């Protein structure tokens, strides 16, 4: 089910409206393993950086935990950013599931951190001031925006050449990221759950926060507090109304959950 950035269609996907989920639908969420930006504590956003050595090990461990727990998958969704796609590939390989349908979409990318991308926290504060950086932590606060001439602007990246100008962010609040993710969730992922398929979503902290918020029917201001660690699988059993019936956070050997909480990156 491989898809380009501008082609999110997959075969045999029914409409997400007017249907209920089969009993015992399973959705597993996995944040990418530690990235080089996580390690350096930089804002990454849409910066296409890869996994660190620790992150590669986290991805492989996540796959082994899922395999040893008896979990399998029929399809996988991920972003177009390397740290997520690489995590998906490593985890599925560890499970012996390299051949299941894998769909990539820019809509599952991390929140875009605008002009903060590539900066560490304190250099960002020195350049833009404390409040412009701190307000990003709220639900509606946007970072300082990129100029369209900035080489970090996604409109200058061939990867996003097929996207409409209005879909190219210069910086996103959590609310903006949510608005980007929801259509994809409803149109691409929910229909697979409705078909009784076991679904794995490998993505980013803020993208996965959106999905958890939707499932928990949580308030907007609760979203920044949702805890999603790097490389730690969250297995969700859903009821027919798409609410969480059971949640399991798979632990690393020795009972340690591991992973990084590095902010937004």
Q: Is 24 left (phi over 0), alpha (psi -120 to 50) or beta?
A: left
Global pTM value: 0.89
149: burial class by Cβ within 10 Å (0-12, 13-18, 19+)?
Answer: exposed
Cα 251 to the center of its chain, rounded Å: 20
203-232 pLDDT, tens digit per residue, is: 999 999 999 999 998 888 888 888 899 999
Domains of the chain with CATH codes:
25-254 (3.40.50.1240)
Choosing from 8, 32, 86, 89, the catalytic residue is 32
* 110 in catalytic set: yes
The catalytically annotated residue of 8, 89, 103, 110 is: 110
Q: What is the pLDDT of residues 160-210, one digit of tens each?
A: 999 999 999 999 999 999 999 999 999 999 999 999 999 999 999 999 999
* Tens of pLDDT, residues 1-25: 444 454 444 434 333 334 556 656 8
């200058």: which residue's tokens?
156
Burial class from Cβ neighbours inside 10 Å (0-12, 13-18, 19+) for residue 175 reads middle
């Amino acid at each position: 089910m491989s898809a380009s950035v501008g082609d999110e269609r997959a075969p045999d996907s029914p409409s997400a409206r007017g249907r209920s989920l089969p009993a015992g639908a399973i959705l597993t969420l996995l944040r990418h393993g530690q990235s080089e930006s996580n390690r350096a504590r930089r804002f990454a956003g849409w910066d296409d950086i890869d996994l660190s050595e620790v992150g590669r090990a986290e991805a492989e461990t996540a796959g082994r935990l899922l395999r040893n727990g008896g979990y399998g998958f029929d399809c996988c969704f991920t972003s177009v950013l390397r740290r997520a796609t690489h995590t998906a590939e490593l985890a599925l390989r560890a499970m012996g599931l390299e051949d299941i349908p894998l769909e990539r979409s820019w809509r599952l990318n991390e929140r875009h951190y605008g002009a903060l991308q590539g900066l560490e926290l304190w250099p960002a504060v020195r350049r833009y001031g404390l409040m412009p950086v701190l307000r990003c932590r709220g639900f509606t606060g946007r970072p300082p925006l990129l100029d369209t001439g900035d080489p970090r602007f996604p409109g200058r990246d061939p990867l996003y050449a097929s996207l409409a100008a209005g879909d190219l962010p210069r910086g996103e609040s959590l609310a903006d990221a949510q608005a980007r993710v929801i259509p994809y969730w409803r149109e691409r992922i929910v229909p697979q759950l409705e078909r009784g398929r076991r679904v794995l979503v490998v993505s980013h902290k803020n993208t996965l926060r959106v999905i958890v918020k939707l499932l928990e029917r949580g308030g907007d201001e609760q979203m920044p507090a949702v805890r999603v660690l790097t490389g730690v699988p969250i297995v969700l059993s859903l009821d027919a109304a798409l609410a969480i019936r059971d949640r399991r956070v798979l632990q690393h050997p020795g009972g340690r959950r591991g992973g990084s909480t590095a902010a937004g990156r």
